[in-house]
Structure 1
């Protein structure tokens, strides 16, 4: 899958602005495959869904996918095609590369088939398969609803009866700002603005139920890029300590389980692999210090609320006259200690 960003900006440029927009371009995807960057998952019971790229005719759309789109020309869509009729079965297709806090998601959906259900929806602020919000439309039940899934238990849906015609494309828009949510179906707002404080950020996922065969197209999300807590801590320390020459935090993440730089004073360092020094510091909880020209480089463990090392912090300081490695570690400790008091788990620090 490729991403197109509006306004002629590169991805790197957009991520440094207050807002960014992702347009999910499926034209390079091979029919019959799962689009790149997405992962099939399941909430509830039964077998997982079958998600794949299919070709469909944009002539069926109420409006074209893009200005100048050719009528009658097939184009790729994301489809859930499994017809397993297990009742409490909710196939998910999770977009893995990004976590979204505040966002506006726009897409089109079409319910194609289903005997027990014909539903289309989006799970948002998803923590895992047992914790997320859902907004969904039902073509068989003619309902539009929102609900929360918390620790695997569904709240009662909130929403009215709404005519959802099967076999045609519908526009869906989801807006999440802080703890407030708004939803639009085909330009109308069936549910008044809702408020919930359970999940402040999470992943996005396409959602269906039971034997629903459903197509999704024209996905676009405008969002405020989230800055990892690790990066915010680095930025704060660099401002607070003018004699700091550089900071890096090495850790693992769910998306990349090997040790690497997750935050740094130099953006070009983010993503660099960790080495033996960082691994040894985390394993032994023993600081490292070395001198390089006019600076000291120290590496200290960063521990979670249980005392487990979840990261290694590399601190570069200007060398004072006569300073030793022991003195350099002593200067670096207060910096790391301040970071340590700001989080409880690795996930909170890095995700």
Structure 2
């Protein structure tokens, strides 16, 4: 148990360091970002990265949002020169990431993307786009050369040139989505250099100039919490009376109940309210009231009716509202949540 706790602590500390570097609001404008190191593979010196402000188009709609970004400029004019702006912190072995980026310059071969599970500047996996050919490449670099890979010859348009890349790695299964188009690969460790851990880097080729924004990196626990939050937000939007919504379960049979999902991210991982245990153990609904707010806790059931967790919510409810009406409203919301979790396994995947 001590070993497991130590591993979790190390994952948390490295990810905290990575997220601190990715939070550009705390970086100095016009300066090289802290928490990153410029690396180079090939002839010449490494390029550079500078924190800037710019207008970034929203993914949905045509509005532009002012925000901070990293402008990366390649350091060489040779097509086999690669600049990597590498996060100093080690990424989780399994992770989910996302980034918005666009190419704004370059004369030799404008190509940009994300390197991940990087052992160093010469050994890594790469997702990169070459806008001139409307192609996306997944490549495996070993000793500074691309030795394996595949390409997508029909990438979707990017509004304002800003590409939206989501990517994840779990074992030897890699997934990515570029501008809404999903791709995946499960590589054979016997035939492909098998990198199961490493660092993340912003990557450009030759003298390419590119802007990167909204860079996010999540470990498995954070991926799960984000998925739970998405389900809860979707359900909460169906009823304006919802003030708070928590998803509660045991992470192991003998463990205490924890909040595994919430509209308030700060609550995730905290001990659940005592009513949640009563709901699960006694198979009962619990109702309370604080002035014009009803607090309702209901069991969460799998597709076969077995209790696998609990849902606790606060609802706007004028004084005098019947308890039965509050529970009926809460039941409707809980059934919507249950559709996303057909069994206990689905709560943790």
* Bucket of the pairwise TM-score, normalised by the shorter protein: 0.5 to 0.7
1:119 aligns with 2:111: yes
Distance 1:216 1:195 in 2: 31
SS at 2:182 equivalent = coil
Deviations 1:126-178 (Å, cap 9, x if unpaired)?
Answer: 11112111111111222111111122332143112124657521110111001
Task: Determine which of 176, 179, 183 is the counterpart of 1:183.
Answer: 176
For residue 199 of structure 1, what is the aligned residue in structure 2? 195
1:88 aligned partner: 80
Partner of 2:270: none
In structure 2, the residue matched to 1:31 is 29
Q: Give distance in 2, aligned partners of 1:53 and 1:211.
A: 18
Over 3 Å counting, the alpha-carbon distance change for 1:15 and 1:47 in structure 2 is closer
- Alignment partners' CA distance in 1, 2:121 and 2:39: 7
Q: CA deviation at 1:63?
A: 4.1
Note if contact 1:145-1:158 (Cα within 8 Å) is conserved in structure 2: yes
Q: Structure 1 residues 220 and 183, CA, compared in 2 at 3 Å: closer, same or farther? A: same
Change (3 A) 1:28 1:185: same
After TM superposition, the score normalised by the length of structure 2 is: 0.53
Take 1:191 and 1:108, find their aligned partners in 2: how far apart are those partners?
Answer: 19
| CA deviation string 1:157-206 (max 9, x = no partner) | 31121246575211101110011111110121245444546111001111
SS at match of 2:140: strand
Q: Counterparts of 1:13 and 1:41 in 2: how far apart (Å)? A: 25
Counterpart CA distance in 1 for 2:128 and 2:197 is 19
SS of aligned partner of 1:54:
strand
| Cα distance in 1 between the residues matched to 2:195 and 2:10 | 28
CA distance in 2, matches of 1:72, 1:190: 28
Counterpart-to-counterpart distance in 2, 1:55 and 1:206: 18
2:149 aligned counterpart, secondary structure: coil
Q: How many residues align?
A: 208
In structure 1, C-alpha distance between the alignment counterparts of 2:36 and 2:9, rounded to whole Å: 21
C-alpha separation in 2, matches of 1:29 and 1:20: 13
The answer as to 2:215 corresponding to 1:219 is yes
Where does the alignment leave 5 or more consecutive residues of structure 2 unmatched? 1-7, 222-349
Structure 2 CA distance for aligned equivalents of residues 75 and 27 of structure 1:
9
Tell me: CA distance 1:13–1:92, structure 2 relative to 1, closer, same or farther (3 Å): closer
Q: Which runs of 5+ in 1 are unaligned?
A: 1-10, 65-70, 226-351
Is the aligned partner of 1:107 residue 2:99?
yes
Question: Between Structure 1 and Structure 2, which shows a larger proportion of helix residues?
Answer: 2
Change (3 A) 1:192 1:201: closer
> Could you tell me how far apart the structure 1 residues matched to 2:35 and 2:128 are?
23
* 2:161 aligned with 1:168: yes
Q: Whole-Å Cα distance in 2 between the matches of residues 210 and 164 of structure 1?
A: 24
Instruction: Report whether the alignment pairs 1:150 with 2:150.
Output: no
Corresponding residue SS for 1:15: helix
Q: CA deviation at 1:121?
A: 0.9
Say if 2:69 and 2:211, in contact at 8 Å, map to a contact too: yes
**Shift in alpha-carbon separation, 1:13–1:117, aligned structure 2, 3 A:** closer
Work out whether residues 95 and 217 of structure 2, in 8 Å CA contact, stay in contact via their aligned partners in 1.
yes
TM-score (norm 1): 0.53
| CA distances 1:63-102 after superposition (whole Å, capped 9, x unpaired) | 49xxxxxx55532101113464221011101111233200
**Superimposed CA distance per residue, residues 201-222 of structure 1 (whole angstroms, 9 cap, x where no aligned partner):** 0011111111211010001111
Equivalent of 2:59, from 39, 62, 85?
62
**1:133 partnered with 2:131:** no
For residues 235-314 of structure 1, the aligned pairs below 5 Å read none
